[in-house]
A = this chain, B = another copy of it.
Amino acid sequence: MAIAPTETKQFIAEALEALNDAIDARDGVRALDIIKTLDWDDQRRAMSRLSHENCEALIHILGNEDAAKLLSHLAEAQAVEILESLPPDEAAELLRELPTEVSSNLLREFHAKYVEAILAKISNAGDQAELRKRLEYPDGCAGSLMRGNPVTFRETFTVGEVLKDLGEHAEDYSDRDVQYLYVINHQSILVGVLRLRDLVLSQRGIPVHDLMIPQPLTVIDTMPLSELAELFERKKFLGFPVVDAGGRLLGVVPRDAVKHETAEEQAGMFLQASGIVNGEELRSMPLKDRCIKRLAWLGPNIGLNMVAASVIAANEATLKEVIALAVFLPIVSDMSGCSGNQAVAVSIRELTLGILRPGDYLRVVMKEGAVGVINGFVLGCVLGAIAALWKNNIYLGLVVAIALTLNTMISVLLGGIVPLFLKRLKVDPALASGPILTTCTDMCGFFLVLSIASAMLSKLAGV
C-alpha cells in the first residue's frame, strides 16, 4: 500500500463538531473513533481548538491508555499544557502510561510547582524513584534521552539459553529493541554487546561471552546533546549503551532520539531569537501566560530602548536645527541592526556546527571586519546619495553616509562577537544577542548621526 503525498488538506470542521458532541454526550467510544479518523496533524489541530473544559472531559472519557496515546501524538508543549490543567493524580496516571524517557521529558517542561505534586501522586515507589532520577539529568543529555530497560543477559548464558529466553518472553520483548542484546557481569557492569544476527547464525552451545563484541563503545549518562550528536554522525550505530560512572548499564540512547532533540533545539533557537523565552508558545495556552511570557522579554527591551534613545534626548538641540536628520535616525539604526543580525546568525550557525569555538574572537573580527567595511561603504553611499539629492545638500549626504558606514562596521563586528561572548558566559546566544546588539547599534547610530551633524552644523542649517 503506497502512501502518496496528500492533497492540501482542509481542516474538517465537522470532525471537531462531532468530537465536541461526543464529549458533551460523555461518549468515549465515539470520541475515540473520531480521533482515529484524523491524522496526527489534525489531532494536534483539533486538540488546540477544544475548549479547556472539553479537553479535560475528553481525557476523562477516553480512559488512561487511549488518552496517553493521544497525548504522545501531540506537540510536546501541547501535551504539557493539557497535563498541567489536570488534577495531579490524573496527570500522574497518564504519565505512568508513557515510557519513562517520554514522561520525564514532559515533566521537565512543567512549572516547577506542579512537578512535585505530580511525582507525589505516583504510587508505585519504583516508578516514582525512576522518574526522580531521570529528572536530575539536564535536558538533552544521554541520561535524559536514553530508553531504559534494555534487554540484558548474564555473560554465563549460552546462545541456546538466550534464544530460548527470547522465544519464551517474546511478548515482553515485543516493544523492546532486540537487534542488540547487552551482556552484563554479576555486578551489572556492561561487558559486551550481542548482535541478533550473530546470535542466530551461531552454534547453540557456546557461551555468549565468546560471541559478544567485548568492550563496546558506551557513553556516560551525563554526556550532553552536542557531543551525542557528533558521536552519532561519526559512528553509524543505531544506539549507544549508556552507563553510569561505575560502568553499570542504565539504558540505550537511540540515534533517533538524538536527531529529534537536535531538531527541537534548532527550532527553539529560532523562537528564542524572536523573543519567545524558553522557546515554546502555542496559541492554545492561557492568554495570561502568553502575555506574561512575551512581556518578560519586551519589558527589559523597553529599558534598553530608553537607553538608546537617551542619546537623541541629549542631542535635541542639533536635531531641532536640522530636522531632516529625524528621518535618517531610524533608517541608520535599523539598517545597521539588520547587518549586525546577519553576523549574529552566522556566528550562531558556526558555533552549532562546531566550526567556531567561543574563543575564536580574532577570526570573527577579521572575517566580519572585511564584510563590515565593504557593506558599510556600499550602504552608506546609497543612503548618503539619497539624502544629498533629497535636500539638495551634499553635507547632509556626507553625515548620513559616514554614520551608516561606521555604524555598519561596528554592528557587524559586534554581531559576530556577541554570540561568542554570551556562549562563554553560558547565556543562550539566540535569546540575548538580538537585544544587546540592537541597543548598542541604536545608541551608536544615533550618536554618529547627531555628533557628525553637530560638527558640520553651519553647513546644514535650515535643512
One complex includes copies of this chain to the number of 2
**Who on chain B is nearest to A367 by CB?**
B283
Q: Given that A273-B274, A326-B312, A338-B298 are known contacts, is A283 also in contact with B430, CB under 8 Å in the complex?
A: no
A335 CB to nearest B CB, Å: 6
Bound CA span A352–B45, Å: 12
CB-CB < 8 A to A203: which residues of B? none
Q: Given that A256-B255, A282-B350, A330-B333 are known contacts, is A273 also in contact with B270, CB under 8 Å in the complex?
A: yes
Q: Is the CB of B375 within 8 A of A291?
A: yes
**Who on chain B is nearest to A290 by CB?**
B371
Q: Is the CB of A75 within 8 A of B355?
A: yes
State which of B222, B309, B345, B356 has its C-beta within 8 Å of the C-beta of A328.
B309
Which residues of A in the span 224-270 have a Cβ within 8 Å of any Cβ on B?
224, 227, 230-231, 233-234, 238, 240, 243, 247, 255-256, 259-260, 262-263, 266-267, 269-270
CB-CB < 8 A to A227: which residues of B? 5-6
State which of B45, B200, B335, B382 has its C-beta within 8 Å of the C-beta of A357.
B45
Q: Is the CB of B220 within 8 A of A275?
A: no
Q: Is the CB of A40 within 8 A of B271?
A: no
Interface residue tally of chain A, by bracket? Answer: 35 or more
**Who on chain B is nearest to A328 by CB?**
B309
Q: Is the CB of B327 within 8 A of A217?
A: no
Stretch in contact with the other chain, from A103-111, A115-123, A317-325:
A317-325
Q: Is A301 on the interface with B (CB-CB < 8 A)?
A: yes
Q: Is A112 on the interface with B (CB-CB < 8 A)?
A: no
A203 CB to nearest B CB, Å: 14
A294 CB to nearest B CB, Å: 5
Bound CA span A73–B446, Å: 45
Bound CA span A282–B345, Å: 10
Bound CA span A48–B287, Å: 47
Q: Is A363 on the interface with B (CB-CB < 8 A)?
A: yes
